Structure 1
Amino acid sequence: MPSDLIFYTNPMSRGQIARWMLEEVGAAYDTVILAYGDDGMKAADYRAINPMGKVPAIVHNGRTVTECAAICAYLADAFPDANLAPPPADRHSYYRWLFFAAGPVEAAVTNKAMGFVVPEGRERAAGYGSFEDTIAALETAVAGDAWICGDQFTAADVYVGSQIDWGLSFKTIPSSPALEAYATRLRERSAYKRQKDIDGALIAQMQKQG
């Protein structure tokens, strides 16, 4: 019997972020693996789900959600028993850093990795200012021994943590004691390890077949 939660992904994509969140939530879900290209993500039936033709996406009880940060926030609200979102009155840090990572961090890291340089004097027009300022601000979100929202691990840690984990692994974010310590704590989580095991096995299978 099909699940009421369907996850569209490719293991070699940002779909790893959404799968980690799904594993944190602990709800049953069906997975649809999509290839890159016209017969997968760019096919008309999938573009009806996500017009961008990219993964990840989820469909929960007929409702479609795309974009990793939105998926993380949605799942936290859809499955409150997982306790992955603070009470509404205490969501200031939760929203602040979730959207900071989806906006300035994503833009700054991508631009730098692709060699785009903001012209001198045009930093305000870029939104994130400078790469260095963005990373310095990011460090303040994860400094110390707790999580973004204090003692409570939340969906913000999944999304922000994924940006940091990937950035450190692929050297698109410079290493620092605060970022390394935070990433170490993330990698100890059971749901993180399950996601890596699942997607790692799928990647190995795809490489063997192709």
Structure 2
Amino acid sequence: MSQTLTLYTNPMSRGQIARWMLEEVGAPYETVLLDYGTTMKAPDYLAINPMGKVPAIVHDGRVVTECAAICAYLADAFPAANLAPPPADCHAYYRWLFFAAGPVESAVTNRALGFVLPEGRDRTAGYGTFDATMDALESAIATGPWICGDQFTAADVYVGAQIDWGLTFQSIPSRPAFERYAARLRTRPAYQRQKATDSALIAAMQKQG
């Protein structure tokens, strides 16, 4: 019996990360496009993700939300794609996957929203300071070529999407290590397929007005 795999997304969202991971996996999947404020908040989708946000995937009836979780789940669900290291070598994989989902996401979002920590309260925030977070993020990819050495993994999809997006929209500072890492990511066929698909969907949405 064939497996069913469905991506719920909007092309102008973090759903691009999930699609990239799906393209890396190489398994066939269906796409359901949702609109902000309408179908994304409708009862049918809220039954899948009570947050009313995308992306989400449903794999043979199993629901997974949150981009980092989707990346890790797909790597485990499709081991033939070789997107997760063996258990004995998974320390960097888990470390930086969750670092990007926690401190990086918080630091970048707070900075973009203009939130400034009160003087001397950096210990209160999980990420400490924005600059310290960026320094730590750089250390994850400085020795390369990938987070787990020579093996490209789901951690590179998630961490890489954060860096690639951040450089594009200037929410992450341009540093030589970040630029080199992003350049390597952009040569991957799966990345290019995802960008082509979502860019075409965005163009169609904008044309419809």
Conservation of the 8 A alpha-carbon contact between 1:3 and 1:30: no
**1:97-176 counterparts in 2 under 5 A?**
97-176=96-175
Q: Does 1:5 align with 2:13?
A: no
Deviation at 1:3, TM superposition (A): 6.2
Deviation at 1:189, TM superposition (A): 0.3
Output one character per residue of 1:34-69: Cα deviation in whole Å (capped at 9) or x when no partner: 0001x2111111000000000000000100000000
- Partners of 1:108 and 1:154 lie apart in 2 by 24
- Partners of 1:33 and 1:170 lie apart in 2 by 24
Q: Does 1:22 align with 2:22?
A: yes
User: Which residue of the partner structure matches residue 43 of structure 2?
Assistant: 44
- Partners of 2:95 and 2:133 lie apart in 1 by 14
- Partners of 1:133 and 1:162 lie apart in 2 by 20
Deviation at 1:120, TM superposition (A): 1.3
User: Which residue of the partner structure matches residue 194 of structure 2?
Assistant: 195
User: Which residue of the partner structure matches residue 62 of structure 1?
Assistant: 61
Secondary structure of 2:74's counterpart equals helix
- Opposite residue 17 of structure 1, the aligned amino acid is I
Percent identity of paired positions between Structure 1 and Structure 2 = 76
- Partners of 2:140 and 2:89 lie apart in 1 by 15
- Partners of 2:81 and 2:62 lie apart in 1 by 20
- Partners of 1:21 and 1:202 lie apart in 2 by 18
Deviation at 1:89, TM superposition (A): 1.4
User: Which residue of the partner structure matches residue 33 of structure 1?
Assistant: 33
Conservation of the 8 A alpha-carbon contact between 1:21 and 1:72: yes
User: Which residue of the partner structure matches residue 95 of structure 1?
Assistant: 94
- Opposite residue 126 of structure 2, the aligned amino acid is G
User: Which residue of the partner structure matches residue 182 of structure 1?
Assistant: 181
* RMSD (CA atoms): 0.9
Uncovered stretches (5+) of structure 1, i.e. residues with no partner: none
The TM-score normalised by the length of structure 2 is 0.98
- Partners of 2:173 and 2:80 lie apart in 1 by 36
The TM-score normalised by the length of structure 1 is 0.98
Uncovered stretches (5+) of structure 2, i.e. residues with no partner: none
Secondary structure of 1:84's counterpart equals coil
User: Which residue of the partner structure matches residue 77 of structure 1?
Assistant: 76
Output one character per residue of 1:120-179: Cα deviation in whole Å (capped at 9) or x when no partner: 111111110000000000000010341000000000000000000000000000000000
- Partners of 1:7 and 1:207 lie apart in 2 by 21
Q: Does the C-alpha gap of structure 1 residues 89 and 145 become closer, same or farther in structure 2, counting only changes over 3 Å?
A: closer
